[in-house]
């Protein structure tokens, strides 16, 4: 469960800071679609009123410009960092859960967790 959550949050991060070639879709597509990711939820709970209102103006608008997407990503910087921290925490927790297996059997699963962690950067 933890590694699945880490993977999804990482996917949400990459939507904002990855490259189009790497993720296979335009950067910021989650913003255009108005998706409520952990990044967006964190931002809406923690942003000052003016930035929150601006983010909501940009979100869910198929006509959003590249400039507005960049503006939204800038507004979301602290929340992106928060999401990274959660992803790392979930990866570490998932590896802790694997300790019930002997080292040889858990090695492949740990490699999957490490791969997901490497996608952060």
User: Nearest 5°: phi and psi at 62?
Assistant: -65, -20
Confidence grade of residue 119 (pLDDT, cut at 50, 70, 90): low
**pTM assigned to the model:** 0.86
Q: Kindly tell me if the per-residue pLDDT of 59 is higher than 90.
A: yes
Q: Kindly tell me if the per-residue pLDDT of 21 is higher than 80.
A: no
Looking at residue 120, its pLDDT comes to 55
d(CA 11, CA 89): 16
Which pLDDT tens digit goes with each residue over 100-112?
Answer: 999 888 898 889 8
d(CA 90, CA 53): 31
Looking at residue 50, its pLDDT comes to 97
Distance separating the N- and C-terminal Cα atoms of the chain: 22
Which two structure tokens, joined as six digits, stand for 2?
A: 């933890």
Looking at residue 26, its pLDDT comes to 80
Which two structure tokens, joined as six digits, stand for 54?
A: 């601006």
């Amino acid at each position: 469960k933890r590694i699945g959550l880490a993977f999804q949050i990482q996917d949400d991060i990459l939507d904002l800071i990855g490259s189009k070639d790497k993720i296979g879709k335009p950067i910021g597509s989650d913003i255009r679609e108005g998706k409520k990711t952990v990044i967006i939820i964190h931002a809406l709970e923690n942003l000052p009123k003016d930035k929150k209102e601006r983010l909501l103006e940009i979100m869910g608008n198929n006509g959003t410009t590249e400039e507005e997407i960049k503006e939204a990503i800038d507004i979301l910087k602290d929340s992106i960092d928060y999401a990274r921290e959660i992803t790392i925490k979930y990866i570490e927790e998932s590896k802790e859960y694997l300790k019930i297996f002997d080292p040889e059997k858990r090695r492949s699963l740990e490699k999957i967790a490490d791969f997901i962690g490497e996608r952060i950067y």
